[in-house]
Structure 1
Amino acid sequence: MTFYVIGIGNKEPNFTVKQQQDILDTHVFSGGKRHYELVKGYLPKNHQWIPIQSPMQEVFTAYEETSGTIVIFASGNPLFYGFSNTLKNKYPDAEIVTTPYFSSIQLLANAMHINSSHLQTISVHGRTWKALDVVLIQQKECIGVLTDTDKNPATIAKRLLEYGYDNYKIFVGEDIEGTEEKFQELSLPEAPMMRFHPLNCVILKKTTHRQIDFGIRDTDFKGLPGRPKMITKMPVRLMTLHYLNILNINTLWDIGFCTGSVSIEAKLKNPDITVVAFEKRPECEAIMIENQKRLGVPGIQVVMGDFLEQDLSTLPKPDTIFIGGHGGKLEQLFLKMTPFLHQGTSIVINAVKQSSILVFKEQCAKIGYTIIQENTITLDTNNPITIVKAVTPSRFPKTLKVYKTLKV
């Protein structure tokens, strides 16, 4: 199969002589409804038009029933979160020739005289918030955002304010190159109160850097009412994150999140990871949400209710599991989670009671896991906390050190 993908703007295109000839030599064309209105005057008579619309499988079927070359018209740069990438994924052996135009983000940056040397662009168009959440936690200096109907300038600004990222200003481009073209610079509080043209894109520019401690102070978290010690203390938390290998995993399950301290600090250290946090105490849900907003950590998936009653099959399989609480049901917990372990999954527990450590080791042995690290930490007058890590044999490091006791 051969595809010629031509990027066009939001106006009648000015095709090159070669592009005009390629169009006249072709019978089958494709693109969105808006693209057709812009290019139909250039197409030969009796042409076939394959509209790009949902469901996409019908579009691909139409392509596959066509012999010869297909010319596809796409917005902006089809190699930049665009249709050429979709074609490459679907038809890796096809010949795909792309002629790009300016992306909408480029046009917005140029119109607003924004230095785009450090511009990092992400897309929330038809996607989750994850890509935006990652660059916000990283506090990138200049962020381009490709939007959609729901994730528009108003809702983007609202999300930034909700999680404390008021250290950005927002630039909005609407109907760029169209009859209602508009560019404006706004403060974040202004944007949620406004309506925008459906065709828009956004650039976020950092004004100041939001300071977040490497190890979050325990007092920065909202805690359980009347139980201020019910939190994984900062030194213990940081060592736990080390045991969880948090910089080198994709998915963390945090069982018994309580105040959310481990989940939140894990996401701050590695914004790309998926964190699924479980807790059965109803009051902890509001505490987790409040702490996420205080510390600027969106994107944690919270699962409320008894872990033993959850449908875990709908969740991403964990690369590492942290057991912060088990309610005396550690054996049942292992029975529940074992079917969802894969060869590389590690398991870490923080335990106060010796009985919990013994049951943890017994259950690990039953499923073929081996203890590779164990530390006991005592902070001031608090009860000693023992951190234990277990992995499958294939995960053994070449050089293995087991640390016994550390008093701080």
Structure 2
Amino acid sequence: MSEAPWLTIIGLGEDGPDGLSPASRAALERAEIVMGPPRHLSLLPDLAAERIDWPVPFADGVQQLMALRGRPVCVLASGDPFWFGAGSVLAGRLSPGEWRALPGLSSFALAASRLGWALDRTGCYGLHAAPLSRLRPSLAPEARMIVLLRDGAAVAELADLICDAGFGASRMVVMEALGGPRERITEAVAHALPATGFAHPVCAALEIAGDGAVLPLASGRPDSWFDSDGTMTKQPVRALTLSALAPRPGEHLWDIGGGSGSIAIEWLLSHASLRATCIEPRPDRLARIRANADRLGADRLQLVEGAAPAALEGLEAPDVVFVGGGLSQALLERLATLPAGTRIVANAVTLESEALLTQAQATLGGELMRIEIARATPLGPRRGWSAAYPVVTWSTVL
């Protein structure tokens, strides 16, 4: 029989030792050291093992754990350590033979069992250390979601976010210490949440209701979703640009000349695995981009202050590049040095920028497209077409 791994990651519920499997009990009895948050450690029975409180920030505990390599160690986590838990972080630092996991019931499973909800049709969010605004793209009537929260105070913050978005009629079910002797369930409507002190650990289930604005799923969201000083890729052109950028899971975008950040934000809204870095020389626009991204649940957007191409040095290489501003010959020459397979999309409005793209297409290949859009507007007592400046788009694959 092969030797047991030195590290065992144990998912512990609020019922403490009563919910432990025989394998988890055996691992704890064998361990020389047990690490975990103080609340988890307090749930354990008497053990011979040394107990170590997991420090804050979390990363400090990872370093402390690595120093114990080779000794029998148990790490305690909540419920299922691989669902918004510490499991993946620890496993990523170790080889497969060094660890094993003994998960417990996740908070999502416990919540669904109280509500009678199908988890495969319910949004599940772990927002212990992430902004509540990540829910904003999913707020729509009849949507269901279960949200793991930082602490009791976050329950009122969640209700405020829901109400501010126009969904104050949503049903909220607040669940504290699920599965343990302190379990308490409080049901309310978001706009009438009782002024009750909620205790950690806590999660909230939401059934969204109300007439708030719903963020569309398709690219080319209305311009009104983005605060702007006027420098922004407008909705129809943005929809075509996102189509040309063609996001694929896991890809990283450089958005050069961010303006309002609308391209990078819509890129991130396409899929949770996507990443984006926005390069913008003006601090006031960077602040606006940050506010737009945070409000729309795209807080993972990375910002870089500076003008391209100089500001590109040292950045992680992209899979896709969009140039919405600051187009120059020097920038095009820098982009030409990116790895083979990198996709590039650039928009131009001025004649000078259009000439640069024409030359780039002749040198590097790809496609040129001219986009001309006109809208019907009042013309005296009648209506006429009001044309926007034409946009030339160049797209290529290096």
Does residue 372 in structure 1 map to residue 375 in structure 2? no
Tell me by how many angstroms 1:98 deviates: 4.0
Paired with 1:190 and 1:330, the residues of 2 have a C-alpha distance of: 55
- Within a 5 Å distance, the mapping from 1:64-75 to structure 2 comes to 64-66=69-71, 69-75=72-78
Residue identity in the other structure for 1:232: T
Aligned to 1:144: 146
Paired with 1:17 and 1:330, the residues of 2 have a C-alpha distance of: 64
Output the aligned Cα RMSD: 4.4
Residue 17 of structure 2: which of 13, 25, 28 is its match? 13
Paired with 1:16 and 1:193, the residues of 2 have a C-alpha distance of: 35
The answer as to whether partners of 1:168 and 1:188 remain within 8 angstroms in 2 is yes
Among all aligned residue pairs of Structure 1 and Structure 2, give the percentage whose two residues are the same amino acid: 23
Aligned to 2:42: 37
Residue identity in the other structure for 1:319: D
The answer as to whether partners of 1:31 and 1:74 remain within 8 angstroms in 2 is no
Unmatched 5+ stretches in structure 2: 375-386
Tell me by how many angstroms 1:290 deviates: 7.7
Does residue 301 in structure 1 map to residue 306 in structure 2? no
3-state SS of paired residue (1:39): coil
Cα distance change, pair 57–244 in 1 and its aligned pair in 2 (3 A):
same
Deviates more, 1:132-141 or 1:165-174: 132-141
Aligned to 2:64: 58
CA displacement, residues 164-210 of structure 1 (integer Å, 9 cap, x when unaligned): 66685433222335564322234444569765323222333333693
Aligned to 1:100: 103
Cα distance change, pair 354–243 in 1 and its aligned pair in 2 (3 A):
same
Tell me by how many angstroms 1:244 deviates: 1.2
Does residue 125 in structure 1 map to residue 128 in structure 2? yes
Deviates more, 1:247-256 or 1:284-293: 284-293
- Within a 5 Å distance, the mapping from 1:174-213 to structure 2 comes to 174-177=176-179, 180-189=182-191, 195-207=197-209, 210=214, 212=216
Residue 28 of structure 1: which of 18, 29, 32 is its match? 32
Tell me by how many angstroms 1:285 deviates: 5.9
Paired with 1:197 and 1:332, the residues of 2 have a C-alpha distance of: 57
Aligned to 1:405: none
Paired with 1:299 and 1:220, the residues of 2 have a C-alpha distance of: 19
The answer as to whether partners of 2:188 and 2:194 remain within 8 angstroms in 1 is no
Aligned to 1:77: 80
Residue 109 of structure 1: which of 101, 107, 112 is its match? 112
Cα distance change, pair 22–307 in 1 and its aligned pair in 2 (3 A):
same
Residue identity in the other structure for 2:344: I
Paired with 1:360 and 1:192, the residues of 2 have a C-alpha distance of: 59
Residue 395 of structure 2: which of 383, 389, 398 is its match? 389
Paired with 2:369 and 2:300, the residues of 1 have a C-alpha distance of: 28
Deviates more, 1:159-168 or 1:95-104: 159-168
Tell me by how many angstroms 1:387 deviates: 0.6
3-state SS of paired residue (1:34): helix
The answer as to whether partners of 2:12 and 2:79 remain within 8 angstroms in 1 is yes
The answer as to whether partners of 1:154 and 1:195 remain within 8 angstroms in 2 is no
Does residue 88 in structure 1 map to residue 91 in structure 2? yes
Paired with 1:102 and 1:208, the residues of 2 have a C-alpha distance of: 33
Cα distance change, pair 135–23 in 1 and its aligned pair in 2 (3 A):
same
Paired with 1:151 and 1:343, the residues of 2 have a C-alpha distance of: 49
Aligned to 1:242: 243
TM-score by length of 1: 0.71
CA displacement, residues 383-403 of structure 1 (integer Å, 9 cap, x when unaligned): 3221111331xxxxxxxxxxx
The answer as to whether partners of 1:116 and 1:142 remain within 8 angstroms in 2 is no
Between Structure 1 and Structure 2, how many residues are aligned? Answer: 375
